[in-house]
Chain A
């Protein structure tokens, strides 16, 4: 199975600060159809996960554009340009290129 390694495990930020989360895969996530099925989720406390970004960099409908995704192959990054209070929670990368789906270990974003 594909292993996704997220760093850092915890991130402390002030409101307005820009932060980045890394997700590294044990193998390329480029599918034979040319797509890269790397997604980012946010899980707020007590809530189910919410899809933020899919196909590496496509913003899900309704997600603020302060969120952005980048990367290719095995290295991916989620950036938040100006953290807001509602962004606090745990971020997960998840790949759906190779069966089975696998998740990163999560990055907890908290207020400094």
Chain B
């Protein structure tokens, strides 16, 4: 069945770089796009960016200068890297599959930015 799982460090120091991995199963990254969405504690959902099935990327304009999304199709993994982290980047980070709709979601990974 379709599954997505986020992984990465739970704690990142301010000004450092965040690296997250979304490992998928049950489908191919060359058939479906994967998006990253984050949610600060107690707040709403914010779309961050997406890796399209053809390898094209698209980013939230507010994060574009700090954000990079890549993939390894052989490992069924999508990667998120965001630099210059600040406390306001503290959030749960989700990856979700795009099949014309945000159907499948990972459980999310909580990232805290703190010294």
Contact = CB atoms under 8 A, between A and B. Distances in A.
B105 to A, nearest CB: 4
Interface residues of A, number: 22
B40 interface: no
Nearest to B107: A48
Interface string A37-48: 101010000001
With most chain A CB atoms within 10 A of its CB, the pick from B37, B45, B105 is: B45
Interface string B73-109: 0000000000000000000001000101111011110
Contacts of B45: 41, 49, 92, 94, 103, 106
A41 B94 CA distance: 14
A54 B101 contact: yes
B101 A101 contact: no
A70 interface: no
Majority secondary structure, B binding face: strand
Contact of A101 (B44, B47, B103, B107): B47
Interface string A87-111: 0000010101001111111100000
Nearest to B92: A48
Interface in B29-46: 35, 37, 44-46
Interface of A: 1, 37, 39, 41, 48-51, 54-55, 60, 92, 94, 96, 99-106
23 contacts: A1-B61, A39-B101, A48-B94, A48-B108, A50-B105, A51-B103, A54-B100, A55-B101, A60-B103, A92-B45, A94-B45, A94-B102, A96-B101, A99-B58, A100-B47, A100-B58, A100-B60, A102-B47, A103-B44, A103-B45, A103-B47, A104-B44, A106-B45
